[in-house]
Structure 1
Amino acid sequence: MILEVAILNIKVGLSTEFEISFKKAEKIISSMKGYVSHQLKKCVEQDDKYILLVNWETIEDHEIGFRQSEEYLQWKALLHHFYEPFPTVEHYKLVEEL
């Protein structure tokens, strides 16, 4: 299993709107092949900052299956205009799997 990690810095004052849009967007990602689960967490110390954690069966499920899909275009339209700067996305796996 692969864990996708993205730190999301939202434009100041748009957190509520982002959370509403994310509720729509999470239906998209959760329907994708290889999707396992996700969590969106809001930072306690900094307003307008979140972390998105998504578990995928494989990295290809995220990088190819999701990111090269029609559904990704919907995800992008719902969420990408909230980010400043655009998030860096990293992938992690259990140390035992290395």
Structure 2
Amino acid sequence: MILEHCDIEIDPSKQKDFERAIVQGVETVISKAKGFRGYKVNHSMETPSRYLLLIYWDTLENHTVDFRGSAAFADWRAIVGSYFAKPPHVEHMTLVAKSA
């Protein structure tokens, strides 16, 4: 399993609208993508403009090829893209260890 780590910065005055939009975007678009396994959205307590979107995929290609190469990616960006203060920083990670 692959973890997509997406660091997002928004205008903090748009926090509530963004939170509704990001959930809508994941639930209606990303969740239907091949290899999607789940997600989490976290908001920074110290930096009100910062969010962390974590998406679990079966494979790296499910995100980078199947999803990002599809029309669904444009649909996702249409829902949340206007909130981004700058392009999100995205990395992909593999699990090394976890607690019970």
Q: What's the CA shift for 1:58?
A: 0.3
**Distance between the aligned counterparts of 2:94 and 2:58, measured in 1?**
11
Q: What's the CA shift for 1:47?
A: 1.1
- In structure 1, stretches of 5+ residues that fail to align are none
| Counterpart position of 1:7 | 7
| Counterpart position of 2:26 | 26
TM-score (norm 2): 0.89
**Distance between the aligned counterparts of 1:85 and 1:63, measured in 2?**
20
TM-score (norm 1): 0.91
How many residue pairs match? The answer is 96
| 2:83 corresponds to 1:62 | no
Deviations 1:4-33 (A, max 9, x none): 001111123111111111121012111111
Percent sequence identity over aligned pairs:
31
**Distance between the aligned counterparts of 1:95 and 1:20, measured in 2?**
32
